[in-house]
């Protein structure tokens, strides 16, 4: 899948336990549509001792789904979002002003086709 996020961008987490925290993208996983972000979604892993490493509980970062991330250092993205939100708010205000003192018009429901009563032909013997 194609993503707009790139390695090294600063992002903010929108949902979850670490909501509001910011970090830099370390690695992207385009097949899983997720990314590793520095300092976000830290989990504890119980590691067995090996010849090279000591055993114990280690803190590691786990991947976060890209839909839960918001770009911070993107200048264009922040401005366009604000403009769209303002337009939506203005549209709502206009719609509310038009409908003052009037009853709401009920929505037309789809017309159901009547079942045709099929007459059975009597066969004479």
- For residue 68, pLDDT over 80 is answered with yes
> Exposure of 64 by Cβ count < 10 A (0-12 exposed, 13-18 middle, 19+ buried)?
buried
Biggest CA–CA distance in the chain, Å, is 96
Of the candidate ranges 2-6, 40-44, 92-96, 116-120, the one whose mean pLDDT is the lowest: 116-120
Between CA 107 and CA 102 the distance in angstroms is 15
Q: Which of 1-5, 14-18, 44-48, 83-87 has the highest mean pLDDT?
A: 44-48
pTM for the structure as a whole? 0.54
Domains of the chain plus CATH, in order, are: 1-76 (2.30.30.30)
| Helical (H) or strand (E) element with 37 | strand 34-37
| Per-residue model confidence as pLDDT tens digits over 26-41 | 999 999 999 999 999 9
Q: How far apart are CA 120 and CA 122, in angstroms?
A: 6
């Amino acid at each position: 899948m194609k993503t707009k996020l790139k390695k090294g961008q600063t992002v903010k987490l929108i949902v979850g336990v670490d909501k509001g925290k910011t970090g830099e993208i370390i690695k992207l996983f385009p097949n899983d549509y997720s990314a590793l972000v520095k300092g976000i979604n830290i989990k504890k892993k119980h590691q067995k001792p090996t010849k090279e490493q000591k055993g114990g509980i280690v803190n590691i970062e786990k991947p976060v789904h890209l839909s839960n991330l918001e770009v911070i250092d993107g200048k264009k993205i922040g401005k366009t979002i604000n403009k769209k939100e303002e337009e939506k708010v203005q549209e709502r205000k206009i719609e509310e002003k038009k409908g003052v003192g009037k009853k709401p018009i009920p929505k037309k429901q789809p017309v159901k086709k009547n079942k045709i009563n099929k007459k059975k032909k009597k066969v004479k013997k």
